């Protein structure tokens, strides 16, 4: 009944239907005047209240609960306004000055080791919606920049053999391979870092790349699968 009435209102040439469509267009285009003398103070009040709410969420909720998750953390560890989503149990080690920005998810799988470990080195910056899947170990060095929507995993999470996968078996032990990201690496938005990847110091992973294997130090890689597209010359002291 409602669907038929909606179709009539949208398609019918009847004057009543046309009037309804005209009223809907008028309503969708309705806007209030915004005299600056009124709306500018409103804006400042809104921004001040938002800053207070964000400060409380960050300093009194997100950061204390993040530190509660940690096995060990350094000084100056900061988070945004979201508590990281942590599934399973493992070791979370954060160095001095680590910054977690936005929503972060971390899944530990204890099938292959009693204490899977994620360690993030000093002054590293982790962007919004970064996802870690840790079955054995993911190790992030110092001064690493990881942009938003990056996925890092040391396990595929499923067996390669179709029969074992259908039976719900975990991946083979040899398919679980630690991930190592050395110091001063930049990983662009949306990249996927697959099991067994090692990214050398100073390298850049372009946005959207799918990386496996070894990336040499001071190298730029891009694509799916990621390939070297350039090299970097570190600046002198």
Centre a 10 Å sphere on the Cβ of residue 97 and count the other Cβ atoms it contains: 17
- Catalytic hit among 14, 143, 158, 182: 158
> For the CA atoms of the chain, what is the radius of gyration?
25
> What b-and-e string marks burial along 103-134, b requiring 16 or more CB atoms within 10 Å of the CB?
bbebbbbeebbeebbbbbbbbbbbbbbbbbbb
Centre a 10 Å sphere on the Cβ of residue 23 and count the other Cβ atoms it contains: 10
Give one word for 78, left, alpha or beta, with left for phi > 0 and alpha for psi -120 to 50.
beta
> Is 158 known to be catalytic?
yes
| Angstrom distance (rounded) from CA 25 to CA 9 | 13
Residue from 145, 167, 154, 137 nearest 196 by CA: 154
The answer to whether 198 and 215 are in contact (CB under 8 A) is yes
Centre a 10 Å sphere on the Cβ of residue 142 and count the other Cβ atoms it contains: 18
| Angstrom distance (rounded) from CA 58 to CA 65 | 10
Centre a 10 Å sphere on the Cβ of residue 34 and count the other Cβ atoms it contains: 10
| Angstrom distance (rounded) from CA 128 to CA 165 | 31
Per-residue tokens: 129: 């919606």
Catalytic residue ranges: 158
């Amino acid at each position: 009944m409602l669907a038929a009435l909606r179709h009539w209102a949208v398609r019918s040439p009847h004057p009543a239907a046309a009037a309804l469509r005209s009223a809907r267009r008028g309503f969708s285009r309705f806007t209030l005047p915004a005299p600056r003398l009124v709306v500018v103070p409103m804006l400042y009040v809104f921004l001040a209240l938002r800053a207070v709410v964000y400060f409380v969420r960050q300093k009194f909720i997100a950061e204390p609960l993040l530190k509660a998750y940690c096995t060990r953390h350094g000084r100056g560890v900061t988070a945004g306004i979201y508590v990281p989503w942590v599934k399973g149990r493992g070791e979370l080690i954060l160095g001095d000055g680590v910054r977690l920005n936005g929503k972060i998810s971390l899944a530990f799988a204890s099938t292959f080791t009693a204490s899977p470990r994620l360690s993030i080195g000093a002054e590293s910056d982790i962007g919004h919606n970064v996802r870690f899947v840790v079955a054995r170990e993911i190790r992030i060095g110092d001064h690493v920049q990881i942009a938003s929507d990056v996925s890092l995993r040391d396990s595929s999470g499923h067996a390669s053999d179709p029969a074992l996968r259908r039976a719900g078996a975990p991946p083979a032990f040899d398919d679980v391979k630690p991930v190592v990201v050395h110091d001063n690496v930049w990983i662009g938005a949306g990249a996927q870092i697959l099991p067994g990847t090692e990214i050398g110091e100073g390298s850049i992973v372009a946005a959207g790349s799918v990386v496996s294997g070894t990336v040499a130090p001071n190298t730029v890689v891009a694509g799916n699968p990621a390939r070297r597209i350039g090299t970097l010359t570190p600046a002198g002291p």
